[in-house]
Structures are given as structure tokens and as C-alpha cells.
Structure 1
Amino acid sequence: MQESQKNWFKNWFNSPYYHILYKDRDYTEAQLFIDNITNYLNLPEAAKVLDLACGRGRHSIYLNQLGYDVMGADLSVNNIEFAKQFENEKLHFQVQDMREPFEVKFDAIFNFFTSFGYFENEADHLTALTAIKASLKEYGFAVIDFMNVHKVIDNLVEKETKVVNEITFNIKRWAENGYIFKNIAFEHDNESYDFTEKVKAFTLEDFETLMHQAEIFLLDIFGDYKLNKFHKNESDRLIMIFK
């Protein structure tokens, strides 16, 4: 398998077209979730918080506005270069792979909006969880907000066309061999582009197995951004609190 296919996320998340396609995401809903989860965790004032796989830093900025000392980390050099314009005394950004533990320890680590499960090598997912655990303070908490794969697969839209900024994105989705794929093909400035997102279709049981291997304690599970109970066939999200 070519390196570009194995590490597709490095190329796609670094691409300006990724941000064009997803520019209309609901950030009001995201901020509601951040409000709810930080209140639930009852974090100390000026808590040290890591936004892991932070993208261009929008959620890191909001966490900082809530009063937290925030580090945003992402594998994409372009994303971090963009985010650095928003840095202040208590908001910093750095390029880092989630498979590597951080030198500093955090009161809370947030991995928002299905930013997990990208690795080709199965062992890397366990490595990432172990790194999260190693980066937490003794009384810190971590949160992974993942898709509910049962509902996603049941409602998969196989083909879709989206026009954004006068670019026509042709999208195909399918589930295969324990992964969910999303192919995005388009043309722009007489160039053809083709990216395929690939995310491991982790169920709650899969996460429980990984967490057991990483000696992580799963404390609570929610099924949406209002922190309602998780229901396997109905919930929009799989939100896990652990330490």
C-alpha cells in the first residue's frame, strides 16, 4: 500500500479543499457540547486542557474563551500554522501525532468529532490511547467523541453531490472490513482530485477492549451532545469519559 493511502489523513487534512467541503459544520452545536462536557467534568479554573486533533483550532479558541489554559495539537502542519495566529498567553498550538505522549500533563484531554480511528496499523489505536493516558494528570479526565457506528452504517448515504464555493464534490460512502470509507472526487482549476477518508468502525465494545488493554478506566458514556444516555441503535454519538 502506498504511503499516501496508508496515511491519507496527512494529505487530506493538509488540503485547503478539506476546509472548503466542511466549512458549514454546525459550530453552535459544538460549543453547546463543549459547555456541557466541561460543566459535567467540573474542571478547576484555569485547568490545563488539550484539544487533540484540533484542526484549525476553532474549539481550542472556544475552550480558551471559557478560561482554560489550552494546547491545541494536530498532525497537519498547515492547520497549526493557521491556528497559531490566535495564540495568546493561555492558548498555544503545536504539531504532534496523537500516538506520542506530551511532555506536559493535562487536567482534561478532548478528542472531538470522530478524530480517532484513522490508523492503518491496528496497534496504533492502542498506542494513541496509551499516549492519552500518559498525558493526563493523576486526577485528569479524557473524552473521546466518536460516531455511533451502528447508526452511521444503518443510515449510510451511498452517493451524494455537494457544491461548495463553485466546486462540485462527488461523494461515495461504504463500509468494508471493519472500516467506514468516504471517497471525495472533484475537479478544480483543470486539476482532478481524489481523496478517500477511512475510519475504523469502532463500537463501544471495541473501545472497551482497547481501554482494558491500555489499563484505562471508562467512567461514563453518553449518546449525544446534550449528554443523554447512549442507545446503540438510536444515539447520534458515542461519547466516552475515561481516565
Structure 2
Amino acid sequence: MPDKQQKWYQNWFNSPYYHILYNKRDEREAEHLMDNLCEYLTPSTQERMLDVGCGKGRHAIYLNKKGYDVTGIDLSQENIKHASAFENAKLHFYVHDMRNLFFINYFDIVFNLFTSFGFFEKERDHQHAINMFAHSLKKDGALVLDFMNAEKLQNNLVFRETQLVGLIEFHIQRKLENGFIVKKIDFEDKGRHFAFKEEVRALMPDDFKRFFTKAGLEIEATFGDYDLNEFDPKISDRLIFVCRKK
């Protein structure tokens, strides 16, 4: 069972069951998003990229295959252990907390994808993370932050559901609590019971605008899906920002 002394994201993201439950987030989806973002950003192969909250490295590995110099960071030791098997001269992975400074004025593009944000209890920690993104960028560098559309999600919240993935039945409960979307995940596997949770702050566009302004970032574009269509708070599935460092 997870250590209750740790934060939920330290337990859940380090668990193999996280990747089992979200197995539909596959390489094809990652490649589609990266192709569209590269077409929009038009980076040269000389530019350096940072993938924050890289997980097992699906976005970073694909970007590297396209010829880019990519660094991935993630809090999960298990994720980085997996991703490190793909390292080469232009692809590196490190265990790192996104709230702490990494390289300064070094990267041309910073990615934070698949709602790898909003996990912290205090707003100042979210601001620290955005500040780190900004500090890592060169002047005029781009931040791409891909978050859930919290407004649509709250308005269409599925309170209970069961998802069968392979032989595992994941029993999921969701609720809105103190500004967080809380998801409880219970299941049994190999005769053992497991219980995890996710708590993601229901951040709205104005929250991000405040974070970006304090970090010296300026919003260049806002998209609502992985096809990079215009963001609509009522119908868009995603909230994707492209920002520039002033």
C-alpha cells in the first residue's frame, strides 16, 4: 500500500498502475501533439528543449527522434529509470522537482504536458514551478503548458465509474473539494487491494495569466485541443498555452 506520509503524486506517478489506467495516452497521441506544436513553433534542430513532468518520456523521445536536443525531468524515479534507457548524446533524463531551479537561460522551448501541473496544496508552489519554467528559458523562448479545461470538467463531472483495463477493474470516484478536482481510485490486483488518489487544482485561464505575468511570461496563443484549435471554455477538452519569455 502507498506510504501515507508521501504526497499523492509521489505514490501514484511512481506506480505501474498509473500507466495501466492511462494506457490510452499512447505514443500516437504524443506524436500528433508534438508534430502540431513543432509546425506552430518551427524550431531548428539546434534548439534545446525541456520536458517538465516527462513521465516515461514519450514526448521527449519522439522529439529526439525528430532531431532535437531534449532533456526530460520528472519526480518519479521509476519513470526516469524507464526513460533513461533511451538516452543518447541529445536526450537526457533526470529526477527533479519542477519547483526547483534547473538550468538557467538555457532552453529554447519548455514543455509541460498532459496536466503535469496543479498538484500542489499552496498557490506559491504553483508560482514557483512557473518561475522555474521561465528561468530555464532563454529570452524570447517559448513555454507550452497543456492543462485540462477545468471549467468543462467541473460542469460535466462523472462522479462514479468503473473502468476495466485488462483484468483490473478500476473503481473511480470524483468530486470537487476546496478548489481541487479529487479522484479516488480503488482496485484489486493479485489478491491485494490498492487505493490511490489524484488532487488537481481546478485552475482557470485567469489563474494561469496571473502566474505567467509574475514570471515574466507573455501569452502568445491559447489552444483547446491537440489539433491546436481555438480554445473555447465551454467545449474544449484542453487548455494549452504558448507563452514567450519577455
Following TM superposition, by how much is the alpha carbon of 1:157 offset from its aligned partner in structure 2, in angstroms?
1.3
Q: Name the residue aligned to 2:178.
A: 177
Q: What SS is found at the alignment partner of 2:13?
A: helix
What is the percentage of aligned positions where both structures have the same residue? 49
Partners of 2:243 and 2:83 in 1: CA distance:
28
**CA RMSD after TM alignment:** 1.5
CA shift digits 1:11-45 (9 cap, x unpaired): 10001111111122243232111111111111122
Partners of 1:197 and 1:175 in 2: CA distance:
12
Please show how residues 159-174 of structure 1 align to structure 2 within 5 Å.
159-174=160-175
Count of residues in Structure 1 that have an aligned counterpart in Structure 2:
241
Could you state the TM-score of these two structures normalised by the residue count of structure 1? 0.95
Q: Which runs of 4+ in 1 moved over 6 A?
A: none
Is the deviation greater in 107-116 or in 41-50?
Answer: 41-50
Could you state the TM-score of these two structures normalised by the residue count of structure 2? 0.93
Q: Name the residue aligned to 2:66.
A: 66
Opposite residue 150 of structure 1, the aligned amino acid is E
Opposite residue 185 of structure 2, the aligned amino acid is I
Opposite residue 201 of structure 1, the aligned amino acid is A
Quickly say closer, same or farther: Cα 1:5–1:230, change in 2 above 3 A.
farther
Q: What SS is found at the alignment partner of 2:54?
A: coil
Say if 2:45 and 2:69, in contact at 8 Å, map to a contact too. Answer: no
Following TM superposition, by how much is the alpha carbon of 1:139 offset from its aligned partner in structure 2, in angstroms?
2.6
**Mind listing any 5+ residue stretches in structure 1 that lack a counterpart?**
none
Following TM superposition, by how much is the alpha carbon of 1:50 offset from its aligned partner in structure 2, in angstroms?
0.6
Say if 2:30 and 2:58, in contact at 8 Å, map to a contact too. Answer: no
Partners of 2:50 and 2:157 in 1: CA distance:
32
Say if 1:7 and 1:119, in contact at 8 Å, map to a contact too. Answer: no
Partners of 1:11 and 1:73 in 2: CA distance:
17
Q: Name the residue aligned to 1:203.
A: 204
Quickly say closer, same or farther: Cα 1:131–1:138, change in 2 above 3 A.
same
Following TM superposition, by how much is the alpha carbon of 1:214 offset from its aligned partner in structure 2, in angstroms?
2.1
Say if 1:7 and 1:120, in contact at 8 Å, map to a contact too. Answer: no
Say if 1:220 and 1:240, in contact at 8 Å, map to a contact too. Answer: yes
Q: Name the residue aligned to 2:109.
A: 108
Partners of 2:4 and 2:66 in 1: CA distance:
38
Following TM superposition, by how much is the alpha carbon of 1:51 offset from its aligned partner in structure 2, in angstroms?
0.9
Partners of 2:40 and 2:102 in 1: CA distance:
25
Please show how residues 74-223 of structure 1 align to structure 2 within 5 Å.
74-103=74-103, 105-223=106-224
